[in-house]
Amino acid sequence: MTTEQTKNQELREIPIEEKLKALYHLQKISTAIDKIRFLRGELPKEVKDIEDEIAGLETRIDKYSLDIETLGAKIAAQKNGISDARAIIAKKEEDQKNIRNNREFEAIQKEIEFQTLEIELCEKRIAEFTHETERKKEDVEAAKTRLAERKADLEQKRGELDSIIADTRQEEEELLAKSEGLKSKIDDRLLNAFNRIRKNARNGLAVVSVERDACGGCFNKIPPQRQLDIKMHKKIIVCEYCGRILVDKEIDNEEV
């Protein structure tokens, strides 16, 4: 038998009454921890969302900046193309002075016309690339403005969250330590059931006491015989309506 199996076997041998006490006090501590974390509200999620948005904006700015550099290189290439075309035109116009026949004249004229069209095409591309560059620059400025706003929001939200955490850290750590101590007295099967019920319960209550002959969780009436069984602490009894673990109010006064 492994150490873990031995431990679970020992825990299963603990009287049901002791387990019920541990479960009830674990519930009280868990509820107290829930209240502390409720104070933080949506702040942790808001901080994470803002951090993600900031990372996205920074990535967008980097991409747009790279796009602007690429467009700048494309514009420079088109300008070089215009310079080359003009140089060819100048040379061809010079060659026209030494034409020997109509065939040479037509060939030179066609080359001049072709290079003129190349210049027009390059100028068109430069206009398109320049327009796209301006649009990208506007996008970068908008993203930078949004980035500055979100960084200010992040600083504020982090300050609020840090303040709440600082105020409640010691209390939460003490409660968590007590919680772990109680969990060590409960076998895995029962602890898993407790966690499952807590997860599914709207208010996080997995263990409730009997209040005015009714379940403290769903408020449905509990038959007298079942209430007597609950008071006996001889077995784990769950509400037949909501599935929560039921204990009597007297257990609240007993130490674990």
Q: Are residues 31 and 64 both part of a single domain? A: no
Q: Is the pLDDT assigned to residue 75 strictly greater than 70?
A: yes
Q: Determine, yes or no, domain membership for 174.
A: no
How many residues can be counted in the chain? 256
pTM: 0.57
Q: Is 148 exposed, middle or buried (0-12, 13-18, 19+ CB in 10 A)?
A: exposed
Q: What is the pLDDT of residue 195?
A: 93
Domain boundary pick from 141, 168, 195? 168
Q: Determine, yes or no, domain membership for 176.
A: no
3-state secondary structure 214-227: EECCCCCECCHHHH
Q: Are residues 30 and 55 both part of a single domain? A: no
Confidence at 78, pLDDT banded by 50, 70, 90: very high
Count of CB atoms situated within 10 Å of the CB of 207: 25
Q: What is the pLDDT of residue 201?
A: 87
CA distance 45 to 50: 9
Q: Are residues 94 and 31 both part of a single domain? A: no
Q: Determine, yes or no, domain membership for 155.
A: yes
Q: What is the pLDDT of residue 2?
A: 63
Q: Is the pLDDT assigned to residue 67 strictly greater than 90?
A: yes
Strands 237-238 and 245-247: antiparallel
Q: Are residues 79 and 155 both part of a single domain? A: yes
Domain boundary pick from 168, 192, 209? 168
Q: Is the pLDDT assigned to residue 214 strictly greater than 70?
A: yes
In the chain, the number of structural domains is 2
Q: Is the pLDDT assigned to residue 174 strictly greater than 80?
A: yes
Domain boundary pick from 143, 168, 193? 168
Share of the chain above pLDDT 70, in %: 93
pLDDT tens per residue across span 82-134: 999 999 999 999 988 888 888 888 999 999 999 999 999 999 999 999 999 99
pLDDT tens per residue across span 6-32: 555 666 667 888 889 999 999 999 999
Q: What is the pLDDT of residue 6?
A: 56
Range of the domain at 162: 43-168
Instruction: Tell me the mean pLDDT in the region 196-208.
Output: 91
Q: What is the pLDDT of residue 4?
A: 57
**For the domain that residue 245 is a member of, what is the CATH number?**
1.10.287.1490
Instruction: Tell me the mean pLDDT in the region 212-238.
Output: 92
Q: Determine, yes or no, domain membership for 122.
A: yes
Helices 3-12 and 188-200, packing angle to 10 deg: 70
pLDDT tens per residue across span 136-152: 999 999 999 999 999 99
CA distance 256 to 187: 15
Q: Determine, yes or no, domain membership for 58.
A: yes
